[in-house]
Amino acid sequence: MNFTDQLLRAQARHDSFLCVGLDPEPAKFPSHWAGDASKIFDFCARIVDATKDLVCAFKPQIAYFAAHRAEAQLEELMAYMRRTAPQVPVILDAKRGDIGATAEQYAKEAFERYQADAVTLSPFMGFDSIEPYLRWPGKGAILLCRTSNPGGDDWQMQRLADVPGQPRLFEHLAALAQTTWNTNGQLALVVGATYPGEIAKVRELAPTLPLLIPGVGAQGGDAEATVRAGLRRAADGTVTGTIVVNSSRAVLYASQGTDFAEAARRVALATRDQLNAAAR
Ligand SMILES: O=C(O)c1cc(=O)[nH]c(=O)n1[C@@H]1O[C@H](COP(=O)(O)O)[C@@H](O)[C@H]1O
């Protein structure tokens, strides 16, 4: 099954547009594990156990593992998610972007070594830096389009004088991703929840692509506005353009006590319900 179908199936099964981001920071672990990088797997596995019936995806961020020489724990976690939550697709957040030959290696890392269902990519180097990922049948490639950080303005909001209509860079990318770049039908786009106006613009230009939307929770993005701007349904209610709304820190560090997993579940449930209320 391809990434988009996995996503839609998990969304229907768990009645959820929520993705829990796995960004483990040992300094923020519950007091009995605080500062202990050897507990990264244990911490993430407890979060997975506590939220796996509430989410449509998990998104481990590779830097939080690599910074602690914990790639082996990431591999273990990927295998654990596959075993205990096989119905939930996993997005490896790696934001890769390099020439084709190197991209081939990054694709192998994401899809073979880590067995991810999709990977986040920076499209700054152009289509030949994305194409190697599209050769992997059914795997998702999620392109940064209008990111959640203020510095996204530096490039993404600039207008392209040489393209008809002088679109902003993120608008041009959204249009390419919906059409000529989407050779395997598995492209998706990242748009920050901190910019609902731009989510609406991306949705207009890319009506059917899944949108990965980080920025609710710790970054203060507006969950209701995000859903209204990003989700598209047909008249019969079928989802035609879906959203995957990520929250990491607000879920992971809801409590620093021994009840951290229960607290994470409470926040995940509340966030899922808030997204669903806006979707109805
Ligand atoms: O690609 C991403 O996931 C991403 C894109 C973006 O524009 N903004 C953004 O915050 N992210 C990631 O989404 C997560 C947000 O985490 P919280 O702010 O803790 O919910 C982090 O893993 C970021 O690296």
Q: Tell me how far the alpha carbon of residue 182 lies from the centroid of ligand 1, in angstroms.
A: 23
What is the SS3 string spanning 90-115?
A: EEEEEEECCCHHHHHHHHHHHHHHCC
Contact 97, 122 (CB under 8 A): yes
Residue 45: per-residue pLDDT: 98
236 C-alpha to ligand 1 centroid (Å): 33
Q: What is the pLDDT, as a whole number, of residue 58?
A: 99
Q: What is the per-residue pLDDT for 268? A: 98
Told to judge if 139 belongs to the known catalytic residues of this protein, a careful annotator would answer no
Cβ–Cβ under 8 Å, residues 120 and 212: yes
Cα(277)–Cα(238) distance, integer angstroms:
17
Chain position carrying tokens 């796995």: 22
* Interface predicted TM-score (ipTM) of this complex, two decimals: 0.99
Pocket of ligand 1 contains residue 190 by CB under 6 Å: yes
* Helix, strand, or coil (residue 248): coil
Q: Is residue 251 a contact partner of residue 271, using CB atoms and an 8 Å limit?
A: yes
Q: Encode pLDDT of 177-196 as tens digits.
A: 999 999 999 999 999 999 99
As a whole number of angstroms, the distance between CA 7 and CA 3 comes to: 6
Q: What confidence score (pLDDT) does residue 221 get?
A: 95
Structural domains in the chain, CATH included, are 3-279 (3.20.20.70)
Average pLDDT, the chain: 97
Confidence label for 19 from pLDDT (cuts 50, 70 and 90) = very high
Percent of the chain predicted with pLDDT > 90: 100
**Ligand 1 touching residue 147 (CB < 6 A):** yes
Residue type, 185: G
Q: What is the mean predicted confidence (pLDDT) over 133-142?
A: 98
pLDDT attached to residue 183: 96
Token output for 267: 């926040």
Residue 214's Cβ-count burial label (10 Å; 0-12, 13-18, 19+) is: buried
